[in-house]
Structures are given as C-alpha cells and as structure tokens.
Amino acid sequence: MTTFSYIKQLDDFKTTAAWLARRGWSEAAGGNMSVRLDALAALHEDDHIELPVEVPYIAGQIVLLTGSGTRAREIGENPEPNIGLYKIADDGRHYGWIAGNHNPSMELPAHFAIHNALEKNRPEDKAILHTHPASLIALCHVPGLNSGKAISDKILSLQSEARLILPEGIGFVDHELPGSLELGLKSAEQLSRHHLVLWQYHGLLASGATLAGAFDKLEVFEKSASIYWKLRAANIDPAGIDKSTIKEILKAFGRLDRY
C-alpha cells in the first residue's frame, strides 16, 4: 500500500467517522464518505479504470474516498489505511488509484457522479457522507412518508429551527440497489436542490463544504426524527408547528425564498 503524506481533510474524516460510530449511525461497515481536494496531486499515470458514468466537471480532480468494508469506528481511530486517494482522468471517463486504501467503497460510481453534479451546481460543497441512522430509515416505513415533501413537512415542523437549517427540506430517492449507478444519478439530481437525501429503506446522503458541515445537517434532521419517534411512542401523531409559523420563522431569517 502506497501511503500518502499528511492531507488536512483526513482530520475531517477522522472526527466525522468517530462521531458516526459514536452515534450508532454507521454500524459495521455501513456508510461511506468522500471529499474532493482543491490541490492537484502529482501527475498520475494509472488513471485507466473505466467509469460507468461520465464526470466531466471533476476531470483532473482528486477525491479521498473510504474503502470497501471499512468501519466508521476504525476510520475514527486511524483514517489512513481505510481511505483511498483517487484521481479522475482528464477525459472524465476513467480514474486511477493514487495512494492509501486500494479497494474503494461500492458506492464509488455514486460518489463520483454526485461530486460531478456538486461541482457543477454547488462547487462549495466538497464533502459527501452516507450513513444508516435508524430513526431516519424507520421513517420510510411510515405509510404516507414516501416523498421528500411529505417527510420534510412532517418531520421538519417538529422543532422551531429545523426548517431554518434545512429550508429546502430533504430530497428522497425511491429504493434502488445499494451501490448502483442509478442511486448515484438520482441522488446527484436531488442534491442540486437539497443538502440531504434520504435513500428509501437504506440511509441518508449528506453534502457540505466539509464532512463536519454535512454531519451538522444530518444531525438536525435526525434530532427532528427522534422527536417524531418519541411522540409516536407516546401515542401522539404530531401535527407539528403550523405552516404560517414556519414561514414566519423563515421570513425573519431571510430564508423564505428557499422554502
């Protein structure tokens, strides 16, 4: 294994993975993370592995991506052996391994397709993470909560600041095979309007300028979902804060246009 010298984003992986493990959101080898780097590493000749998707917006860029089967709790302890450094070829159709973990997450095509869309639509978002919080996956089994709008209206109205952090609500992708390109392409489409996308029956995808920033948004959504489940356990199906109050809060903070 070629090792890589210190990359500042590794600290972001380390801290975020430790938190994902501590919160119980990335059980076993569940979840994966990646970050695009600003600086180009040394030229690499090995970028010949064909991608199932064209990613022209990230051609020539470098991506850090968690390895297949790697555990959040171990990435939190020691990121280097669990994370690989990859370069997208200049043709946007191939990639190559540079250093670190050599066996990428099965979500590699999804991550690259999503980074491509982010670079195009929201270049400041450089980090994506995927994880399996039980309280969010459980929402997918509630009759009627089968769209981003239905889930956003129900869950983000339970706490007065949740919609402020997520004015656009969350995106939603109907169940797709884990690791499939279809899942990546549908997520990329949703991420052009949202920072969070719920993968039906599977887990959550979050984007941010850093992994810590993506984690923040995930944490806000998860808090609201946990309020929902506390109420349901008390036999209350909450109506939530009414729409006019939600709009008033958004207006006061200048975010009504994003609702």
Using the minimum distance from each CB to ligand 2HA, give the nearer residue, 130 or 154.
130
Q: Give the CA dihedral 107, 202, 114, 79, nearest 10 degrees.
A: -50
3 state DSSP class of 97: strand
Asked whether the beta carbons of 71 and 29 are under 8 A apart, the reply is yes
CA 6 from chain centre, in angstroms, equals 24
Q: Which of 107, 119, 176, 222 binds ligand 2HA (CB under 6 A)?
A: 107
* Residues contacting ligand 2HA: total by CB under 6 A: 8
Question: Residue 107 has what DSSP assignment?
Answer: T
**109 is an interface residue for ligand 2HA by CB under 6 A:** no
Q: How far apart are the first and last CA of the chain?
A: 47
**Only segment of 13-21, 23-31, 43-51, 236-244 that touches ligand 2HA (CB under 6 A):** 23-31
**29 is an interface residue for ligand 2HA by CB under 6 A:** yes
Q: Which of 24, 52, 123, 178 binds ligand 2HA (CB under 6 A)?
A: 178
Rounded distance, CA 60 to CA 88, Å?
Answer: 5
Q: Which residue is nearest to ligand 2HA (CB)?
A: 178
At 49, which amino acid appears? I
In the complex, least distance from residue 199 CB atom to ligand 2HA, rounded to whole angstroms = 8
Residues between 30 and 89 that touch ligand 2HA (CB under 6 A): 30-32
Q: Could you tell which of ligand 2HA, Zn ion, none binds residue 32, using a CB distance below 5 to 8 A set by kind?
A: ligand 2HA
**187 is an interface residue for ligand 2HA by CB under 6 A:** no
**256 is an interface residue for ligand 2HA by CB under 6 A:** no
3 state DSSP class of 9: helix
What residue has token string 């972001």?
12
Contact pattern from residue 200 through residue 239 relative to ligand 2HA, giving x for each residue in contact according to CB under 6 A and a dash for the rest: ----------------------------------------
Asked whether the beta carbons of 195 and 124 are under 8 A apart, the reply is no
What residue has token string 């109907």?
174
Q: Which residues bind ligand 2HA (CB under 6 A)?
A: 29-32, 106-107, 130, 178
